Amino acid sequence: MPDILVTDDGAIRTIRMNRLEKKNALTLPMYETMAEAIGNAATDNNIRCLLIAGGPDAFCAGNDIGDFMKMAQGGALGRPILNFLYALARCEKPIVAAVNGNSVGVGTTMLMHCDHVVAGNTAKLSTPFVALGLVPEAASSLIAPRLMGHARAFALLVMGQSLSAEEAKAAGIVNTIVDPAETDAQARAAAEKIAGLPPQGVLVSRRLMRGSPDEIVARIDEEAEAFKVRLQSPDAQAAFMAFMSRKR
């Protein structure tokens, strides 16, 4: 079965991370598939809302560490990752997320681009970038302080403090907390409600609320340059090697 499942049902396109044996750690091909699914929705008038989901026990474990090691050796953030982040930033269709279990790294930062997030009550969000010798990505260094204030954003992005579902709701990342068994159904209901609204009204309102994506894209690029430098740093190399040693 594919690691990313893309299904259209009525006006809803569901993009489901399905690499369950690796807790949905994202590989470069997975990023590319998701970027295409988001980008193609822009020209499909039948699609009025996107739904991003993971598994029942894990939303997304972040980047695949093996791909990270390859990127560190190559000295650049993978193009599929940037394509995915650009697609999120420039997406004009509303995005709903269904989150259960752990959301690590990009599993958390992608939620900052979503319009409505439903989380199971056991969900946990974390961004261990700095502990790995890296820096935040997905324009989270811009969006998170605006969303939750500098102090909470610093604790999340720099200190690596995780957020429970309740804390994520208080921070403005999560809209609704439900029993984990109800997460997908409640997210689907929210997507259907959004899809049932006048599409042009949703489009224009969302544009007004989010502003130009150019600022977000510029920050993604700025973070990517810093990320590239940090990937080759002794701190990052040591952190990756320690992680791989633990896995063995």
Q: 41, 77 in Cβ contact below 8 A?
A: no
Would you state the pLDDT for residue 236? 80
Per-residue pLDDT of the chain (248 residues; tens, 9 = 90+): 899 999 999 999 999 999 999 999 999 999 999 999 999 999 999 999 999 999 999 999 999 977 877 776 665 678 999 999 999 999 999 999 999 999 999 999 999 999 999 999 999 999 999 998 999 999 999 999 999 999 999 999 999 999 999 999 999 999 999 999 999 999 999 999 999 999 999 999 999 999 999 999 999 999 999 988 888 888 887 877 776 666 55
Q: What sign has the CA pseudo-torsion 199, 204, 210, 213?
A: positive
* pTM of the predicted protein model: 0.95
Would you state the pLDDT for residue 73? 63
Would you state the pLDDT for residue 66? 79
Would you state the pLDDT for residue 55? 96
Domains of the chain are: 4-180 (3.90.226.10)
- Cα(213)–Cα(49) distance, integer angstroms: 18
Residues with Cβ < 8 Å from 172, sequence gap 6 or more? 147, 148
Would you state the pLDDT for residue 141? 98
Would you state the pLDDT for residue 68? 72
Residue ranges with strand state E in the chain: 4-9, 12-17, 49-53, 58-60, 95-99, 102-104, 116-120, 124-126, 163-164, 176-178
